[in-house]
């Protein structure tokens, strides 16, 4: 039932000249056929009880069960319609009435004179007191007769933003007080962490003399373990009563969630993945309709996984619907203050890496507040450390230095060379007792001897005579200058995470069926690698599947940092053994001592020898 659906006229409840409510046409007494808190015609009276009021839920029940309505909207005189503000205590100088109005009206079976329940003189601490003693300031809701500064002080104390100076009037908590606090928590389990709730409790007679902070601290440090049970409430925190009108005990296992829920790592992950998925779909829609931005050459810009994503309202509405643990506003705020700062794909990478390392992923944090202010340009810092994070290896969680990628290369070489050797000359490995499968040199040795190894599992795609013949029809060559990302990759590439690309490449290269060019090209196409790039891979890696894997991993590492115009230069990898460029080929072909010296500083003798054979066959 929504009060918004009811038309209220100002005349039903309107302020008179004394700022008091006129209730002349309020239905009252036994004549009330629709309940006690109704106007003529049975239209319910509107009440507002502050959300932090410790008695809100108790009185919400009373009001609703006697025909009235509790609104979620605070009274607003400017609208002309009046909602009656009820509270356990006087607040912020507003026109405010005591909750006993409800009790007395119910007892009376008719609406009492509301003006008799108006708060007049709140008691408030005076910050100007030099002695540090409490001083009672008399202030009424209109501020008449009261100093404006006092009114401001009153407002400040209640608003929590300005606290009185330290004043320690320590009072011991008694069993009675402790039990009272626990009872209030049981009645309001959703508010068990709320500062304001405890501020409200501090105004209860039983707890007079303690501050809200003190009571909150008492509960958190001493009483929480004694809570034992709470009373059952609905999603809004309203007490659920049994058939005989009693509160229902509920175990702590069913504690309702508090007012605010921290975002978890999984929720951050879901937000990032949904955001990227949404953006990717949008990109391809735009691509089809020609709405994608063009580069200098007039070609559509490729989808950038590491871009700053934007999302419309509908996206956050979808998130709130599919992941109701947070509201639309919360999801949107999380995106604005965290995802945008951190980077969606960067977080996904970090999350996946944590999972792979057997660690618990952490949620995004430290992107708001004062600390965030101190780290201006933090995004740039993240950007610069991206490489380290991206390159860190599961087996080396501290890897973040330049050795990480080398370590990865080593691992790939170890496993693949071992495979190659296993397939090429199993007996050599078996006979070499005490020889490690990871002994690269010896494995290279065995590989080089295995001219007739089966294709597809390790070694070169082009080693044997028959497969060389098959590849001879395929145009193996370096990428030309001026290539774009679109030349290299198709849309499938952007649907797969970088980690997965690497794994898929490894799987494809290890597949024994891939000796045939068409199969390899098709498989690479399926993960987004176009033929021209496959040709370059084979050319740069001398057709060696290990080196192809190394090239791909280096490419995946480089790609987030390469602008379109630097793509060609960026792919000239000249510092990795087994990876070749036309410049290095020229060194080899020139035969000059100086060039060979340069070459030997990069390439191993095995690589140089293999390259020589390769160029003889295919150049």
- Options 161, 225, 289, 360; binder of DNA; rule CB under 7 A: 161
- In order of 270, 380, 408, the CA distances from 348 in angstroms are 9, 18, 20
Minimum Å gap between C-beta 15 and DNA is: 21
- Options 183, 208, 226, 336; binder of DNA; rule CB under 7 A: 336
- Residue 334 interacts with DNA (CB under 7 A)? yes
411 by DSSP, 3-state: which? helix
CB distance 187 to 216 below 8 Å: no
Nearer to DNA, 18 or 258 (CB): 258
Stretch that binds DNA, among 171-179, 466-474, 569-577, 583-591 (CB under 7 A): 171-179
CB distance 277 to 348 below 8 Å: no
Nearer to DNA, 107 or 329 (CB): 329
- Residue 444 interacts with DNA (CB under 7 A)? no
- Beta strands 229-231 and 249-251, pairing class: antiparallel
**Which token pair is 569?**
């230069």
- Distance between CA 400 and CA 388 in Å, rounded? 4
Minimum Å gap between C-beta 56 and DNA is: 12
Nearer to DNA, 326 or 413 (CB): 326
Cα pseudo-dihedral 236, 190, 82, 117, rounded to 10: 130
Stretch that binds DNA, among 127-135, 143-151, 186-194, 298-306 (CB under 7 A): 186-194
Stretch that binds DNA, among 103-111, 272-280, 365-373, 576-584 (CB under 7 A): 365-373
Question: How many other C-beta atoms are found inside a 10 Å radius of the C-beta of residue 7?
Answer: 8
The count of chain residues that interact with DNA, using the rule CB under 7 A, is 63
**Strand-pair partners of 118:** 97
- Residue 370 interacts with DNA (CB under 7 A)? yes
Minimum Å gap between C-beta 212 and DNA is: 7
- Options 98, 218, 232, 408; binder of DNA; rule CB under 7 A: 218
120 by DSSP, 3-state: which? coil
Which residues, 6+ apart, have CB-to-CB distance to 588 below 8 Å? 595, 596, 599, 608, 611, 612, 615
- Distance between CA 58 and CA 67 in Å, rounded? 15
- Options 197, 269, 303, 533; binder of DNA; rule CB under 7 A: 197
- Residue 211 interacts with DNA (CB under 7 A)? yes
Scored b (16 or more CB within 10 A) or e, 241-271 reads eeeeeeeeebeeeeebeeeeeebebebbbbb
Which residues, 6+ apart, have CB-to-CB distance to 312 below 8 Å? none
38 by DSSP, 3-state: which? strand
List the x/- string, 461-500, binding to DNA by CB under 7 A: ----------------------------------------
Nearer to DNA, 196 or 204 (CB): 196
- Options 33, 78, 131, 170; binder of DNA; rule CB under 7 A: 170
Scored b (16 or more CB within 10 A) or e, 573-588 reads beebebbbeeebbebb
3-state secondary structure 506-559: HHHHHCHHHHCHHHHHHHHHHCCECHHHHHHHHHHCCCEHHHHHHHHHHHHHHH
Minimum Å gap between C-beta 381 and DNA is: 16
List the x/- string, 51-90, binding to DNA by CB under 7 A: -x--------------------------------------
Nearer to DNA, 92 or 598 (CB): 92
- Residue 217 interacts with DNA (CB under 7 A)? yes
293, with CB counted inside 10 A (0-12, 13-18, 19+), is exposed
- Options 107, 138, 163, 566; binder of DNA; rule CB under 7 A: 163
Site for DNA in 256-315 (CB under 7 A): 258-263, 310-314
- Residue 168 interacts with DNA (CB under 7 A)? yes
- Options 79, 128, 169, 430; binder of DNA; rule CB under 7 A: 169
Stretch that binds DNA, among 116-124, 128-136, 255-263, 588-596 (CB under 7 A): 255-263
- Tell me which residue of 142, 42, 157, 57 sits closest to 99, measured CA to CA: 57
The helix (run of H) or strand (run of E) holding residue 48 is strand 46-48
- Options 138, 183, 208, 222; binder of DNA; rule CB under 7 A: 222
CB distance 96 to 86 below 8 Å: yes
In angstroms, the first-to-last Cα distance of the chain is 81
- Options 107, 208, 226, 371; binder of DNA; rule CB under 7 A: 371
Stretch that binds DNA, among 28-36, 137-145, 369-377, 535-543 (CB under 7 A): 369-377
- Residue 191 interacts with DNA (CB under 7 A)? yes
- Residue 209 interacts with DNA (CB under 7 A)? yes
Nearer to DNA, 202 or 412 (CB): 202
- Residue 172 interacts with DNA (CB under 7 A)? yes
Could you list the residues that contact DNA (CB under 7 A)?
52, 159-161, 163-173, 191-197, 209-211, 213-218, 220-222, 258-263, 310-314, 326-330, 333-334, 336-338, 365-372
């Amino acid at each position: 039932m929504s009060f918004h659906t009811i038309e209220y006229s100002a005349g039903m409840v309107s302020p008179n000249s004394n700022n008091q409510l006129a209730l002349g046409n309020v239905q009252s007494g036994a004549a009330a056929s629709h309940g006690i808190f109704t106007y003529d015609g049975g239209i319910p009276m509107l009440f507002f009880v502050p959300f932090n009021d410790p008695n809100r839920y108790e009185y919400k029940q009373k009001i609703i069960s006697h025909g009235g309505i509790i609104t979620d909207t605070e009274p607003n005189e400017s609208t002309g319609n009046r909602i009656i503000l009820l509270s356990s205590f006087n607040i912020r100088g507003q026109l405010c009435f005591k909750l006993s109005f409800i009790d007395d009206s119910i007892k009376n079976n008719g609406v009492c004179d509301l003006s008799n329940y108006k708060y007049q003189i709140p008691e408030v601490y005076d910050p100007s007191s030099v002695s540090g003693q409490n001083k009672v300031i008399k202030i009424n809701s209109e501020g008449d007769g009261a100093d404006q500064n006092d009114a401001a002080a009153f407002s400040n104390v209640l608003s929590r933003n300005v606290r009185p100076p330290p004043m320690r009037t320590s009072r011991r908590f008694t069993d009675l007080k402790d039990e009272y606090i626990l009872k209030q928590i049981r009645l309001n389990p959703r508010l068990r962490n709320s500062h304001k709730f405890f501020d409200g409790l501090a105004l209860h007679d039983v707890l007079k003399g303690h501050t809200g902070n003190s009571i909150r601290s008492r509960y958190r440090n001493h009483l929480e373990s004694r809570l034992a049970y709470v009373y059952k409430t609905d999603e809004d925190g309203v007490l659920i009563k049994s058939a005989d009108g009693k509160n229902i005990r509920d175990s702590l296992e069913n504690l309702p969630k508090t007012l605010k829920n921290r975002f978890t790592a999984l929720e951050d992950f879901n937000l990032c993945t949904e955001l990227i998925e949404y953006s990717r779909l949008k990109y391809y829609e735009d691509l089809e309709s020609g709405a994608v931005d063009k580069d200098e050459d007039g070609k559509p810009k490729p989808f950038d996984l590491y871009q700053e994503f934007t999302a419309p309202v509908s996206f956050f509405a979808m998130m709130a619907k599919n992941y109701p643990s947070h509201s639309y506003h919360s999801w949107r705020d999380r995106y604005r203050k965290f995802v945008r700062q951190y980077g969606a794909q960067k977080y996904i990478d970090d999350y996946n890496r944590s999972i792979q390392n057997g660690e618990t992923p952490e949620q995004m944090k430290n992107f708001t507040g004062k600390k965030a202010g101190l780290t201006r340009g933090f995004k740039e810092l993240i950007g610069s450390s991206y490489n380290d994070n991206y390159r860190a290896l599961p087996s080396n969680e501290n890897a973040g230095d330049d050795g990480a990628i080398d370590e990865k290369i080593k691992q790939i070489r170890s496993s693949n060379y071992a495979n190659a050797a296993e397939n090429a000359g199993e007996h050599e490995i078996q006979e070499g007792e005490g020889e490690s499968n990871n002994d690269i040199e010896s494995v290279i040795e065995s590989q080089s001897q295995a001219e007739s190894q089966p294709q597809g599992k390790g070694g070169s795609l082009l080693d044997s005579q028959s497969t060389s013949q098959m590849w001879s029809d395929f145009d193996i060559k370096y990428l030309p200058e001026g290539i774009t990302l679109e030349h290299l990759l198709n849309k499938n590439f952007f649907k797969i995470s970088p980690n997965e690309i690497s794994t898929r490449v490894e799987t494809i290269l290890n597949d024994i069926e891939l000796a045939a060019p068409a199969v390899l090209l098709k498989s690479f196409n399926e993960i987004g690698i176009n033929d021209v790039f496959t040709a370059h891979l084979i050319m740069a890696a001398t057709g060696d599947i290990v080196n192809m894997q190394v090239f791909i991993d280096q490419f995946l590492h480089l790609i987030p940092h390469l602008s379109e115009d630097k793509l060609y230069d960026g792919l000239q990898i000249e510092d990795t053994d087994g990876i070749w460029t036309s410049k290095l080929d020229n060194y080899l072909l020139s035969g000059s001592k100086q060039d060979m010296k340069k070459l030997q500083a990069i390439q191993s003798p095995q690589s140089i020898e293999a390259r020589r054979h390769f160029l003889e066959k295919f150049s």
